[in-house]
Amino acid sequence: MPQSLAKIYVHLIFSTKNRERLIPDDIRADLHSYLGGILNGLGCTPVEINSEPDHTHVLFVLSRTETVSNVVGQVKKSSNDWLRAKDARFAGFYWQAGYGAFSVSQSAVEEVRDYIRKQREHHRRRPFQEEYRAFLQRYGVEFDERYVWD
């Protein structure tokens, strides 16, 4: 087969440094558009993006020529720089050093999109840290609580 083909969905989750509630509602739509633009520029297709004041969820199709770590690095660095340049409120803004990236099957894409869309509602019942731990456990990711948060 001479052609290389792939369609890998990734659910990316990352928070603000120390989970500080720094992403206000008035910037969210622009931030989501900017994140989508970064993904498009990397050859990745954004599917769903949403954020809460302290974290972000991104569902995207991974480009067959990019690594997850490179995409995440570019998304976080570029959006961090963009936020800082956009508004003085974000002069000291940082994303956390780490992230979670989870595979999503084609059959689960709509369920994950719906989950991401309903973050505000979801977090009325469950805080981010509890949500993130549940993802790690569901995907069988071993972790040391001392190093998950920064």
On whether residue 62 sits in a domain, the answer given is yes
Domain coverage including residue 93: 8-148
pTM of the model: 0.92
pLDDT at 150 over 80: no
Rounded to whole angstroms, the Cα distance separating 134 from 138 reads 6
> What pLDDT does 85 receive?
95
- Paired strand residues for 12: 58, 101
pLDDT band at 144 (very low <50, low <70, confident <90, very high): confident
Average per-residue pLDDT in the chain?
93
Residues in the chain: 150
Average pLDDT over residues 34-38: 98
pLDDT score for 22: 94
14, 98 Cβ separation under 8 angstroms: yes
Question: pLDDT digits over 98-136, tens only?
Answer: 999 999 999 999 999 999 999 988 888 888 888 888 888
Indicate whether 25 pLDDT > 60.
yes
- The answer, yes or no, to whether residue 69 has pLDDT greater than 70, is yes
Where residue 84 sits, what CATH number does that domain have? 3.30.70.1290
Does some domain include residue 2? no
* Cβ-based neighbours of 11, under 8 Å, separated by 6 or more: 57, 58, 59, 101, 102, 103, 104, 112, 116
Count of the separate structural domains present in the chain? 1
pLDDT of residue 32: 98
Q: Indicate whether 3 belongs to any domain.
A: no
